[in-house]
Amino acid sequence: MTNQERNDYFYVCALIEYISRATRNHRGDVVRTIGKKGIEKLLYDAQVNHCLSFEQVSDEVIEYYKIKEGTFDTISDCHYDVPSYLDIGKLYSIMIEDCAKPGEEVQELINIFQSFISDAISNFNSDLYYQNPDYLEWSYREGELLD
């Protein structure tokens, strides 16, 4: 993966996190609604969209893909400092780079966001986000949180 591709995946992962928080949806539901072609388009447009605010791009994506308001609120009842959408986006982009076979990065993004690990990471009342990234990656690969 080139540096530009890393930046694009980081941007798109952070955008998905931002949209999910704004619409109170599971991250996997947002990815499912956008679809594979939509994710590919967001990656293609990432270099241009970097210049725009997350709010503007988020509003455009929500409107274009008709992402409805959900009930998965991970922020309101959080008792701790919530990691920023950029921090979470970085975590996802690292997992994609580490787990994806060359040429299969988009599908890996979809797989990760639709897996159990995404909802687990989104539980900001747990300490899972703060665990070693290798632990999160291997838990994802094994399909369950490791002991």
Kindly report, residue by residue over 69-121, the tens digit of the pLDDT: 999 998 888 888 889 999 999 999 999 999 999 999 999 999 999 999 999 99
> Above 90 in pLDDT, residue 127?
no
Query: Residue 67 falls within a domain, yes or no?
Result: yes
With 0.85 as the threshold, say if the pTM is over it. Answer: yes
pLDDT tens for residues 33-55? 999 999 999 999 999 998 999 99
Assess if residue 146 is contained within a domain: no
Q: Rounded CA gap, 50 and 55, in Å?
A: 12
Quick one: which of 103, 110, 99 has its CA closest to 33? Answer: 110
Count of domains forming the chain: 1
Residue range(s) defining the domain that contains residue 68: 3-141
CA atoms of 3 and 97, how far apart (whole Å): 11
C-beta separation of 122 from 22 below 8 A: no
The whole-number pLDDT of residue 79 equals 82
Nearest CA-CA partner of 49 in 78, 16, 20, 79? 16
Closest CA to 99 of 112, 89, 87: 112
